[in-house]
Amino acid sequence: MTSPSSGEAVAKSSSGGLGWLLEQRVLLSIAVLAVLPWLLPSQALAVNVLIYGVVVMGYNLLFGYTGLLSFGQAAFFGAGAYFTGIAIGRYGVPWFAAVPIAVLLSTCLAAAIGIVSTRTRGIYFSMVTLALAQLVYYVALQASSVTGGENGLRGFTVDRINLFGFPVNFLDPVNKYYVLMAFAALAMWFQSRILNSPFGAVIEAIRENEQRARACGYDVERSKLIVFMLSGAISSLGGCMLALHLSIVPLDLLHYQTSGMIVMMVLLGGARSFFGPFVGAASFLILEDVISVWTPHWQLFVGAIFVLFVLFLPKGIWGTLLDTLRVGKARP
Amino acid sequence: MSGELLRVEGIGKHFGGFVALEGISVSFAAGQLTSIIGPNGAGKSTFFNILSGALTPTSGKLHFRGRELNGLPQHRFVHQGISRSYQITNIFPDLSVHENVRVAAQALTVSYDIWRDRARLTELNARADTALEAVGLLAKRGELAKFLSHGQQRALEIAIALVSEPQLLLLDEPTAGMGPEETKDMVALLERLAEKRTVLLVEHKMKMVLGLSKRVVVLHHGRLLADGAPDEIRSNPEVRRVYLGQSEGYG
């Protein structure tokens, strides 16, 4: 029989060009995002796709790849945004330092929520994450001297930034988009890194069969906690991007409706696919944009479309598309 | 090839008021195939779950290679050298056959690494392929595990347990639900495995067990009823009364 390395090569070449393309997923995704402002009707929409895409991508690590349905991802999205705003506005930290600080603090929050929630399973996990995320919401609401309470966090702006010696006008939408895209690219590289690693195999094994993963010698609880933290870290980076973009942090970011929206986006785009979260975020935001022009009850229509997706396209837009291409190419 | 590998001392397991196992003391030497038999409800599965760490015994002690295993969490048992397969097929359905085995091999070395490429861990890939070859599944390595036939999934089940190079391999009814052809293949596989390793087998098919094993342990109502070579078990009146007589039809 062939050696494993040549076996691997055979397996790859049999899927043809698609297999090669999928290996370049980070570069391809960056290429698509780079032209996004010219594909979408508005720059503002493109920036939102970028931000929500990163948040949903982080969530996909938890939901799509590990199979943990959390209803509390808004906590980390919001935490990233609040920590960034507070660091800049209250402590005068420069923006490029505020982002890693915010991600680090949000990851600590994810550790705290993860320690409690990953001990539970199934519906209990969903409910515990929901409850703890709501706790974060009420803390932000009550601690108004720090967070601005109901009015959201204000009083910090990032207008001119210094990029390796070059002053850049951050109020210019194109500049802003590409600076934020660099963060999205970093997040995508990191996500791809995790998925390609041995740990990426562990979380998939846990999703497929928790009991067997444990019998194979994996500490399932510890692995779930680690992936919960990694997922929170990536989603919080989306929050940092939002704070830099808006220069305010609305309290609603922490609300459970945001968590629900994140779940809808990942299902629309396709859980368990690398680029699906960006497709899901784009579809959701475009639907919202288009339908809210002619009716204030846009959520009704988005909800109906969502239900149709769950019923007829459970793999989402991107997941279904990839499946179709695979069936066409593979299996000689 | 002698030397004690596993010693079980007065193991008991109670579920509330129900006594599943009581006072089981038995020891297993390295390098032979031993079968554990008994009628339904005899406590075989409970015994296996205790040996693989899935259940904690209510009383008694486990010694493996001179080390006490009591209190060790289940996922550490593989690291000690005890690996198991399941009665109900228990694989990773949406992963490829190769990845099913590779991920099991990986558990002993690089679980939490996020900086390396798993495709480049060639030593693990090779070990997975060796295990697949041992059970005759190498040709199916690229397929999703859920598309394998029942017999092939049972073989994959064993490859997953085998790839950790266990000192003690626990197999829970490897021929469950198999037709005669598939059973024949599995018996041949078990014979090959038993040449080099210590195997503990739970089985229902009596003729198969008596032909295959060096030693047979009989459980009944949670207690040890008999323990000896297949011939002794076959002629033991107690065993005939509780087990053999009623299951002649099992083949």
Kindly report the three-state secondary structure assignment for every residue of chain A: CCCHHHHHHHHHHHCHHHHHHHHCHHHHHHHHHHHHHHHCCCHHHHHHHHHHHHHHHHHHHHHHHCCCCCCCCHHHHHHHHHHHHHHHHCCCCCHHHHHHHHHHHHHHHHHHHHHHHCCCCHHHHHHHHHHHHHHHHHHHHHCHHHHCHHHCECCCCCCEEEECCEEEECCCHHHHHHHHHHHHHHHHHHHHHHHHCHHHHHHHHHHHCHHHHHHCCCCHHHHHHHHHHHHHHHHHHHHHHHHHHHCCECHHHHCHHHHHHHHHHHHHHCCCCCCHHHHHHHHHHHHHHHHHHHCCCHHHHHHHHHHHHHHHCCCHHHHHHHHHHHHHHCCC
B-chain residues near A194 (CB < 8 A): 114
Alpha-carbon distances of B86 from A21, A78, A161, B139, B209, rounded to whole Å: 38, 44, 60, 23, 17
User: How much of chain B, in percent, has pLDDT values that exceed 90?
Assistant: 45
User: How much of chain B, in percent, has pLDDT values that exceed 70?
Assistant: 96
B-chain residues near A212 (CB < 8 A): 86, 90-92, 160
pLDDT tier at A327, thresholds 50, 70, 90: low
A-chain residues near B103 (CB < 8 A): 201-202, 204-205, 213, 216
Predicted local confidence at residue B3, as pLDDT? 74
Nearest to B37 by CA among B236, B185, B180, B198: B236
pLDDT tier at A294, thresholds 50, 70, 90: confident
- Give residue B73's identity as a one-letter amino acid code: P
Predicted local confidence at residue A1, as pLDDT? 35
B-chain residues near A209 (CB < 8 A): 90-93
Query: Which B residues, 61 through 100, put their C-beta within 8 Å of a C-beta on chain A?
Result: 73-79, 83-84, 86, 90-95, 99
Average pLDDT over chain B reads 88
- Kindly give, in sequence order, each residue whose CB lies less than 8 Å from that of residue A316, ignoring residues fewer than 6 positions away: A266, A267, A268, A269, A270, A271, A273, A276, A279, A280, A309
- Kindly give, in sequence order, each residue whose CB lies less than 8 Å from that of residue A184, ignoring residues fewer than 6 positions away: A30, A33, A50, A53, A54, A241
Identify the closest residue of chain A to B139 by CA–CA distance: A1
pLDDT at B251 over 50: no
B-chain residues near A214 (CB < 8 A): 74-75
pLDDT at A329 over 60: no
Q: Quick: pLDDT tens for B145-202.
A: 999 999 899 999 999 999 998 999 999 988 888 888 888 888 888 888 888 889 999 9
Q: Quick: pLDDT tens for A114-134.
A: 999 999 999 999 999 999 999
Predicted local confidence at residue B246, as pLDDT? 56
B-chain residues near A8 (CB < 8 A): 119, 125
Query: Which B residues, 124 through 163, put their C-beta within 8 Å of a C-beta on chain A?
Result: 125-126, 128-129, 133, 138, 141-142, 160
Q: The whole model's pTM is what?
A: 0.90
Distance of CA A290 to the CA centre of its chain: 23
- Give residue A66's identity as a one-letter amino acid code: T
pLDDT at B243 over 90: no
Predicted local confidence at residue A12, as pLDDT? 38
State the sign of the Cα–Cα–Cα–Cα dihedral B46, B49, B50, B55.
Answer: negative
Using CB atoms, pick whichever of A4, A198, A216 lies closest to residue B129.
A4
pLDDT at A140 over 50: yes
Nearest to B28 by CA among B78, B76, B81: B81
Distance of CA A328 to the CA centre of its chain: 30
B-chain residues near A2 (CB < 8 A): none
B-chain residues near A14 (CB < 8 A): 142
Q: For the ranges A17-21, A31-35, A46-50, A101-105, which has the lowest average pLDDT?
A: A17-21
The Cα A87–Cα B83 span in angstroms is 51
Residue predicted with more confidence, A243 or B67: A243
The reply to whether residue A4 touches residue B122, judged by beta carbons under 8 angstroms, is yes
The Cα B197–Cα A191 span in angstroms is 41
Q: Quick: pLDDT tens for B42-90.
A: 888 899 999 999 999 999 999 999 889 888 999 999 999 999 998 888 9
Question: Is the CB of residue A239 less than 8 Å from the CB of residue A250?
Answer: no
Number of A:B CB contacts under 8 A?
A: 116
pLDDT tier at A295, thresholds 50, 70, 90: confident
B-chain residues near A1 (CB < 8 A): 129, 133, 138
Average pLDDT over chain A reads 89
The Cα A230–Cα A190 span in angstroms is 10
Nearest to A129 by CA among A59, A179, A49, A203: A59
Phi, psi (deg, nearest 5) at residue B214: -85, -25
A-chain residues near B115 (CB < 8 A): 193, 197
Predicted local confidence at residue A14, as pLDDT? 40
The Cα B136–Cα A123 span in angstroms is 40
Best of B51, B118, B133 to disrupt the A interface by mutation (most A CBs within 10 Å)? B118
Q: Is the ipTM of this complex over 0.90?
A: no
Question: Is the CB of residue B172 less than 8 Å from the CB of residue B45?
Answer: yes
pLDDT at A2 over 70: no
The reply to whether residue A216 touches residue B104, judged by beta carbons under 8 angstroms, is yes
The reply to whether residue A214 touches residue B52, judged by beta carbons under 8 angstroms, is no
Give chain A's contact residues with B (Cβ, < 8 Å): 1, 3-5, 7-8, 11, 14, 193-194, 196-202, 204-205, 208-209, 211-220, 223, 226, 230
Q: Quick: pLDDT tens for A28-58.
A: 999 999 999 888 888 889 999 999 999 999 9
pLDDT at A285 over 90: yes
Q: Domain A16-330 classified CATH 3.30.2310?
A: no
The reply to whether residue A215 touches residue B129, judged by beta carbons under 8 angstroms, is no
Q: What is the DSSP string of chain B?
A: --SEEEEEEEEEEEETTEEEEEEEEEEEETT-EEEEE-STTSSHHHHHHHHTTSS--SEEEEEETTEE-TT--HHHHHHHTEEE--SS----TTSBHHHHHHHHHHTTT-TT--SS-GGG-HHHHHHHHHHHHHTT-GGGTTSBGGGS-HHHHHHHHHHHHHTT--SEEEEE-TTTT--HHHHHHHHHHHHHHHHHSEEEEE-S-HHHHHHH-SEEEEEETTEEEEEE-HHHHHH-HHHIIIIIGGGGGG-
Predicted local confidence at residue A15, as pLDDT? 45
- Give residue B251's identity as a one-letter amino acid code: G
Using CB atoms, pick whichever of A198, A213, A215 lies closest to residue B110.
A198
pLDDT at B250 over 70: no
Q: Closest Cα of chain A to B54: distance in Å?
A: 8
Predicted local confidence at residue A168, as pLDDT? 82
Alpha-carbon distances of B83 from B37, B77, B166, B234, rounded to whole Å: 19, 7, 6, 29
Alpha-carbon distances of A12 from A22, A304, A330, B91, rounded to whole Å: 11, 39, 10, 24
pLDDT tier at A16, thresholds 50, 70, 90: low
Q: Quick: pLDDT tens for A177-229.
A: 999 999 999 999 999 999 999 999 999 999 999 999 999 999 999 999 999 99
Predicted local confidence at residue B226, as pLDDT? 87
CB neighbour class for A59 (10 Å; exposed up to 12, middle 13-18, buried from 19): buried
Using CB atoms, pick whichever of B92, B113, B125 lies closest to residue A8.
B125
Mean pLDDT of A169-175: 86
Question: Is the CB of residue B52 less than 8 Å from the CB of residue B74?
Answer: yes
The reply to whether residue B99 touches residue A201, judged by beta carbons under 8 angstroms, is yes
The Cα A227–Cα A65 span in angstroms is 10
The residue with tokens 């495709």 is B119
The Cα B193–Cα B20 span in angstroms is 30
Using CB atoms, pick whichever of A197, A208, A230 lies closest to residue B115.
A197
Predicted local confidence at residue B248, as pLDDT? 46
pLDDT tier at A11, thresholds 50, 70, 90: very low
Residue predicted with more confidence, A49 or A17: A49
Predicted local confidence at residue A281, as pLDDT? 96
Domain boundaries, chain A: 16-330
